[in-house]
Amino acid sequence: MGLLDRLSSRRSETAAVPVVSRATNDGPVFSTKALPRFLAALTTREVPVLLDVGPVVGTNVSFFGEHLGCKILVLDLFADWDRHVREGKVEAFPAFLNERLTQAGGSIDGVLCWDLLDYLDRPSATALAAELTRVLREGGALLGFFSTAKPDAAHYTKYVIVDDTSLRYRSYAAARGRQGALPNRDIQRLFGDLRVADSYLLKNNIREMLFRKPA
């Protein structure tokens, strides 16, 4: 039985438009095109190992762990980056990442990078991309979000999985906002050792990109 068959999905009829607009404190729900592709990439493993660089989201843990049988590693690098910004130690973040990601090379089946790279300076983004590429196994998948809009108020976004085609965007405070839109070629250079499997520009100005590590 395929991985997606195990999901109890409530599929939206249209993509790249808000499925349901909820109260501001809950966050709006948007369709996602790349998430189902990412999930499909995990199907080759019995117990996929997932690395989540974002903050813990209970429903996401249940989604991946309970329904899909993944083992999940939650790193919350957003909190680490926030601390480095507040303490004025941004230049130390690349070295910190080298020590923080202790997973063996090729040990991770899927990486949820979310939109962390939008917040990092260039040296930190380069270091993070290199570490994530290192830990990803051959054939593994990395899901990244990149905003194409101008930076606004300083806030991070928690991406809460509603179902395999919908994400709720829930904002929370950040010490520093996004650094600006990364051009496509810069994104591809960051992940030079990965190939771009899918790329979707959504109507909410988020570019969802799925990378695969060549076998």
- The binding site for another protein (CB under 8 A) comprises 1, 5-6, 46-47, 56-58, 61-62, 65-66, 68-69, 71-76
Query: Min. distance of Cβ 93 from another protein in angstroms?
Result: 17
Task: For residue 184, give every residue at least 6 positions away whose Cβ sits within 8 Å of its Cβ, in sequence order, or none.
Answer: 199, 207
Query: What is residue 64's DSSP assignment?
Result: I
Q: Which is nearer to another protein, 9 or 205 (CB)?
A: 9
Query: Min. distance of Cβ 194 from another protein in angstroms?
Result: 23
171 within 8 A of 113, measured Cβ to Cβ: no
Closest CA to 214 of 143, 105, 138: 138
Closest CA to 48 of 161, 140, 167: 140
Query: Min. distance of Cβ 145 from another protein in angstroms?
Result: 21
Q: Which is nearer to another protein, 73 or 130 (CB)?
A: 73
Only one residue has tokens 């068959």, namely 5
Q: Which is nearer to another protein, 15 or 74 (CB)?
A: 74
Query: Min. distance of Cβ 152 from another protein in angstroms?
Result: 23
Q: Which is nearer to another protein, 108 or 190 (CB)?
A: 108
Query: Min. distance of Cβ 79 from another protein in angstroms?
Result: 8
Q: Which is nearer to another protein, 58 or 88 (CB)?
A: 58
One-character DSSP codes across 2-54 = -TGGGS-----SSSSSBS----TTT--EEE-SHHHHHHHHGGG-SS-EEEE-S
Task: For residue 19, give every residue at least 6 positions away whose Cβ sits within 8 Å of its Cβ, in sequence order, or none.
Answer: 12, 29, 30, 31, 162, 166
Q: Which is nearer to another protein, 63 or 191 (CB)?
A: 63
**Cα-atom radius of gyration of the chain, to the nearest Å?**
16
Give the HSE-up count for residue 42: Cα atoms under 13 Å, Cβ half-sphere: 30
Query: Min. distance of Cβ 6 from another protein in angstroms?
Result: 7
